[in-house]
Structure 1
């Protein structure tokens, strides 16, 4: 069984992360039963991604079951930068003064839109 496991690891160019970090025995044991303590759980990564693994450890105080302890890995993954969303520049209507304001008002009225300063009830009755 161990040979098949190692053959799989070598065939797929994987690395056993726990072997790259020096840990005390209590930080490596993932299974304990009947006085026996063994390291049966491993985290495998492609060798190309090995530089993203910063630490692999067992959480001794946390029990998954009475005999198993969780194995965790700290990864440092760089995310691609966010793409800026291209938007239309916002029109600052409130900054319009004088002739620009009158020109905009005349264009709105010519387009058949309701008068922004007109009575609201008249606008709803026309709709």
Structure 2
């Protein structure tokens, strides 16, 4: 069934002690019943598979644990809006920018900001 769906039984790829292989223990009989199946192309992400002795999920069943490596997608850089580097502008460009700011009714960027904050606080 696993081969038909291109699955691999992950716990068979690792050498373990008998106590870490046993997933079911009853009346002195030990067996490996529970397995972790992964797609064969994702098998390289499995780093380790083991059962945990001393823990029980259900009666006489031990939990099976797989350590996996999952590659997270890389974060894309957010592009900031370009700044106006007024100190690199020529005198004529600075003058035309100041005139455009004044025409649009915006505050003087090189002037005191306290007045702007006070007017913004009272207008709300």
When normalised by structure 2's length, the TM-score is 0.69
Q: 1:11 is paired with a residue of what secondary structure? A: coil
* C-alpha distance in 1 between matches for 2:55 and 2:14: 21
* Alignment-derived partner of residue 48 in structure 2: 55
Q: 2:2 is paired with a residue of what secondary structure? A: helix
After TM superposition, list the pairs within 5 Å mapping 1:15-94 onto structure 2.
15-91=8-84
* C-alpha distance in 1 between matches for 2:61 and 2:40: 27
* Comparing 60-69 and 9-18, the one that deviates more: 60-69
**Which runs of 5 or more structure 1 residues have no equivalent in the other structure?**
1-7
- Aligned-residue offset at 1:12: 0.6
Q: 2:49 is paired with a residue of what secondary structure? A: strand
How many residue pairs get aligned? The number is 119
| C-alpha spacing 1:38/1:70, structure 2 compared with 1 (3 Å) | same
**Which runs of 5 or more structure 2 residues have no equivalent in the other structure?**
none
- Aligned-residue offset at 1:108: 2.5
Q: 1:27 is paired with a residue of what secondary structure? A: helix
